[in-house]
């Protein structure tokens, strides 16, 4: 093979191995706290290099790139992923103590709250899913729990923002179809509204259970219970604790779409762990936590290495969203050990094997980051970089690696144990945009074409049992 025909990443690897002892990729020593923090710092830097929202002329809180369309799936990052990324940067600060990015994170979190401080900014109306809103709400909740620096007094506070999201979504619980549940999309005029799914209900369950622990207010726990009960009643959580993707509300939520995503499993694991903690270690929530953990490990950790089984096999069919799911899988598993310490050993074991594999996979040199250390997603491939790079892959590698510090990190705060974030139980209530959203742009012909494709796909999947995997999770966002 001629040197010039060697693919660039391979060329870098070869060059480094032929010329001297230069180390390829990222070296991680899990027995050293310093090593874990250094690696997390490197990956945080690389991840944040994609974020331009703090530069002049840019919009704080948005990741760059044109919105993805059915034609160009991986063209850019959706709004929700930026909210998720800020949450991962709060984790980064929690695990490492490095406050370098805190101001940038706060700026983005506070710029996107929307006019009613419930993460429904009008610019995002045309693609707003309840799950999208939840990802920002969960990051606000994380800020309250971790004691992330409070916003200035004239700005909305972290706890109140999470309560705003909770209140808006509690008002959208819909008993008229499927006996309950939340729709996927936030507004009835959006395509995808007639889909009730695991992630939309999981976001609500997750926030409700965490608010119950943080505030001690039983209303939140009752909502969490009701959501879990609904999920099991329609079979989206089955008796083996598999979490299935969703079902059409037009057909009374039957049949269900039997596809599994790692973040769905983990969002329920973390919520269940909070309910276990809230109920002071009740047997019923212990059983659910155990069951959900076992299913999570069985489904998503073959050989102990996290694997996004719906799309990761070569050739990868992961959408830009799916490339980030392992970040939430691993961060939520780690966080669950704080609420339900009895699962610690089982969680740490797979976080260790996965972190080691993830660090090896950080060996890429894509054209936009030719540094020999960009992370792929296919951790099972060892040091042979899978050829992909981006925010999701960096976030996933950072979370799984820094999560190995969970044992020595402080317990999340509650209002009773030093949490200082101010709440507002009525936040978000009366937000008229939830019924008559403002800022709705006229639907263009292109939107209609895209929407038609989505409708056709959803119909085909639900009626015909076509492979769901061919449909990007967030085609419309
Ligand atoms: C924007 O944030 C990055 C870190 O992500 C930092 O290096 C840079 O200095 C910031 N720029 C401005 C103008 O704040
Ligand atoms: C909404 O879009 C306008 C126009 O692009 C922009 O100026 C504004 O900053 C955006 N607001 C948010 C919250 O993203
Ligand atoms: C929906 O039904 C549940 C019981 O399944 C009940 O607890 C709840 O109050 C009902 N909600 C509304 C808005 O009717
Ligand atoms: C508890 O939460 C519920 C639901 O959000 C709210 O209506 C109520 O005011 C809260 N109670 C207290 C004491 O904060
Ligand atoms: C609840 O969480 C706290 C904080 O992490 C922990 O100390 C406590 O042991 C947990 N309770 C139970 C019943 O496990």
11 pLDDT more than 70: no
Both tokens assigned to 336: 């669950």
pLDDT band (50, 70, 90) for residue 430: confident
Q: Is 36 left (phi over 0), alpha (psi -120 to 50) or beta?
A: alpha
Ligand 2 center to 123 CA (angstroms) = 6
Give the ligand at the shortest distance from the Cα of 112: 2
Question: Which of 341, 343, 408 most suits a substitution to test ligand 5, by most atoms within 8 Å of the C-beta?
Answer: 341
pLDDT in tens, 185-231: 999 999 999 999 999 999 999 999 999 999 999 999 999 999 999 99
Give the ligand at the shortest distance from the Cα of 180: 3
Residue 220, Cα to own-chain centre: how many angstroms?
21
pLDDT band (50, 70, 90) for residue 469: very low
Give the ligand at the shortest distance from the Cα of 340: 5
9 pLDDT more than 90: no
Pocket of ligand 2 (CB under 6 A): 59, 111-112, 121, 123
Query: Whose Cα sits closest to atom 11 in ligand 3?
Result: 175
- The overall average pLDDT reported for the chain is 88
- Look at 439 and 240; give whichever has higher pLDDT: 240
Ligand 5 center to 421 CA (angstroms) = 20
| Residue 438, pLDDT score | 54
pLDDT band (50, 70, 90) for residue 445: very low
Query: Whose Cα sits closest to atom 8 in ligand 2?
Result: 59
Closest to 184 measured CA to CA, from 250, 92, 99:
250
pLDDT in tens, 341-382: 999 999 999 999 999 999 999 999 999 999 999 999 999 999
Atom of ligand 2 nearest to the CA of 114: 13
Instruction: With beta carbons less than 8 A apart as the criterion, state whether 344 and 292 touch.
Output: no
Ligand 1 center to 54 CA (angstroms) = 6
462 pLDDT more than 50: no
Query: Whose Cα sits closest to atom 7 in ligand 4?
Result: 425
Ligand 3 center to 431 CA (angstroms) = 21
pLDDT band (50, 70, 90) for residue 431: confident
Question: Which of 54, 62, 85, 106 most suits a substitution to test ligand 1, by most atoms within 8 Å of the C-beta?
Answer: 54
Ligand 2 center to 121 CA (angstroms) = 9
Q: Domain ranges in the chain?
A: 24-413
pLDDT band (50, 70, 90) for residue 76: confident
Catalogue the E-assigned strands of 121-229. Answer: 195-197
147 pLDDT more than 50: yes
Sort 240 into a burial class: Cβ within 10 Å, 0-12 / 13-18 / 19+: exposed
- List all residues 6 or more positions away from 365 whose beta carbon is below 8 Å from its beta carbon: 8, 9, 12, 371, 372, 374, 385
Query: Whose Cα sits closest to atom 3 in ligand 4?
Result: 219
| Residue 463, pLDDT score | 36
Question: What is the DSSP code (8-state) at residue 406?
Answer: T
Instruction: With beta carbons less than 8 A apart as the criterion, state whether 172 and 182 touch.
Output: yes
Average pLDDT over residues 312-333: 95
Query: Whose Cα sits closest to atom 8 in ligand 3?
Result: 175
Instruction: For the beta carbon of residue 230, count every other beta carbon within 10 angstroms.
Output: 22
Query: Whose Cα sits closest to atom 2 in ligand 4?
Result: 219
pLDDT band (50, 70, 90) for residue 101: very high
Instruction: With beta carbons less than 8 A apart as the criterion, state whether 193 and 128 touch.
Output: no
Phi and psi at residue 362, to the nearest 5°: -85, 75
pLDDT band (50, 70, 90) for residue 12: very low
Does ligand 1 lie within 6 Å of residue 57's CB atom? no
**Distance between CA atoms of 230 and 443, rounded to whole angstroms?**
34
pLDDT band (50, 70, 90) for residue 441: very low
Question: Which is it for strands 246-248 and 195-197: parallel, antiparallel or unpaired?
Answer: antiparallel
pLDDT in tens, 399-423: 999 999 999 999 999 999 999 999 9
Average pLDDT over residues 256-284: 98
- List all residues 6 or more positions away from 284 whose beta carbon is below 8 Å from its beta carbon: none
Q: How many residues appear in the chain?
A: 477
Instruction: For the beta carbon of residue 408, count every other beta carbon within 10 angstroms.
Output: 8
Does ligand 5 lie within 6 Å of residue 474's CB atom? no
Hey, what CATH topology would domain 24-413 get? Glycosyltransferase (1.50.10)
| Residue 194, pLDDT score | 97
- Look at 385 and 433; give whichever has higher pLDDT: 385
Provide the edge-to-edge strand list for the sheet that holds 195-197.
Answer: 195-197, 246-248, 256-257
- Look at 120 and 454; give whichever has higher pLDDT: 120
DSSP assignment of 422-458: ---TTTTTT-GGGTS-SSPPPPPHHHHHHHHHHHHHH
| Residue 70, pLDDT score | 53
Residue 220's beta-bridge partner residues? none
- List all residues 6 or more positions away from 354 whose beta carbon is below 8 Å from its beta carbon: 301, 304, 305, 306, 330, 379, 400
Ligand 4 center to 425 CA (angstroms) = 5
Ligand 5 center to 274 CA (angstroms) = 9
**Distance between CA atoms of 288 and 241, rounded to whole angstroms?**
8
Does ligand 5 lie within 6 Å of residue 341's CB atom? yes
* CA-CA-CA-CA dihedral for 172, 270, 90, 125, to nearest 10: -20
Question: Which is it for strands 362-364 and 246-248: parallel, antiparallel or unpaired?
Answer: unpaired
Atom of ligand 1 nearest to the CA of 56: 13
Ligand 2 center to 62 CA (angstroms) = 10
| Residue 439, pLDDT score | 46
- List all residues 6 or more positions away from 234 whose beta carbon is below 8 Å from its beta carbon: 178, 179, 181, 196, 247, 253, 254, 256
Query: Whose Cα sits closest to atom 11 in ligand 4?
Result: 217
Query: Whose Cα sits closest to atom 7 in ligand 3?
Result: 226
Ligand 4 center to 421 CA (angstroms) = 16
- What global pTM score does this model have? 0.89
Question: Which of 209, 411, 414, 419 most suits a substitution to test ligand 5, by most atoms within 8 Å of the C-beta?
Answer: 411
- List all residues 6 or more positions away from 304 whose beta carbon is below 8 Å from its beta carbon: 349, 350, 353, 354
Provide the percentage of residues in the chain whose pLDDT is more than 70: 84
- Look at 74 and 350; give whichever has higher pLDDT: 350
């Amino acid at each position: 093979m001629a040197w010039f025909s060697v693919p660039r990443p391979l060329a870098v690897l070869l060059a480094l191995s032929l010329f001297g002892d230069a180390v390829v990729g990222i070296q991680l020593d899990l027995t050293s706290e310093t090593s874990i923090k250094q690696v997390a710092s490197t990956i945080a830097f690389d991840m944040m290099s994609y974020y331009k929202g703090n530069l002049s002329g840019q919009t704080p809180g948005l990741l760059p790139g044109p919105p993805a369309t059915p034609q160009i799936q991986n063209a850019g990052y959706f709004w929700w992923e930026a909210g998720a990324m800020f949450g991962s940067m709060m984790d980064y600060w929690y695990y490492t103590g490095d406050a370098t990015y805190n101001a940038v994170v706060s700026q983005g979190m506070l710029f996107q709250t929307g006019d009613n401080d419930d993460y429904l900014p009008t610019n995002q109306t045309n693609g707003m899913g309840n799950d999208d809103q939840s990802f920002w709400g969960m990051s606000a909740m994380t800020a309250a729990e971790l004691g992330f620096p409070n916003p200035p007094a004239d700005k909305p506070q972290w706890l109140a923002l999470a309560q705003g999201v909770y209140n808006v979504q509690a008002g959208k619980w819909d008993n008229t179809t499927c006996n309950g549940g939340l729709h996927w999309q936030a507004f009835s005029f959006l395509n995808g509204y007639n889909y009730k799914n695991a992630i939309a209900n999981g976001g609500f369950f997750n926030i409700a259970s965490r608010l119950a622990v943080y505030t001690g207010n039983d209303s939140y726990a009752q909502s969490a219970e009701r959501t879990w009960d609904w999920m099991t009643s329609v079979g989206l959580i089955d008796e083996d604790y598999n979490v299935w993707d969703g079902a059409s509300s037009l057909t009374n939520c039957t049949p269900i779409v039997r596809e599994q995503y790692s973040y769905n499993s983990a969002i329920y694991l973390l919520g269940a762990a909070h309910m276990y903690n809230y109920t002071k270690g009740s047997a019923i929530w212990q059983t659910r936590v155990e069951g959900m953990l076992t299913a999570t490990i069985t489904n998503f950790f073959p050989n102990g290495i996290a694997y996004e089984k719906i799309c990761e096999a070569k050739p990868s069919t992961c959408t830009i969203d799916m490339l980030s799911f392992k970040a939430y899988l691993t961060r939520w598993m780690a966080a669950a050990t704080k609420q339900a310490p009895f699962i610690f050993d089982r969680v740490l074991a797979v976080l260790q094997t996965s972190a080691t594999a993830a660090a090896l996979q950080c060996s890429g040199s894509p054209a936009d980051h030719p540094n020999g250390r960009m992370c792929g997603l296919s951790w099972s491939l060892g040091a042979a970089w899978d050829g992909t790079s981006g925010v999701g892959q960096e976030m996933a590698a950072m979370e799984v690696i820094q999560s190995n510090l969970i044992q020595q990190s402080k317990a999340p705060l509650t209002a009773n144990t030093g949490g200082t974030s101010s709440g507002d139980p009525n936040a978000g209530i009366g937000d008229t945009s939830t019924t008559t959203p403002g800022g709705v742009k006229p639907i263009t012909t292109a939107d209609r074409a895209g929407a038609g494709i989505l409708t056709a796909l959803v119909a085909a999947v639900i009626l015909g049992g076509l492979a769901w995997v061919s449909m990007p999770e967030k085609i419309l966002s």
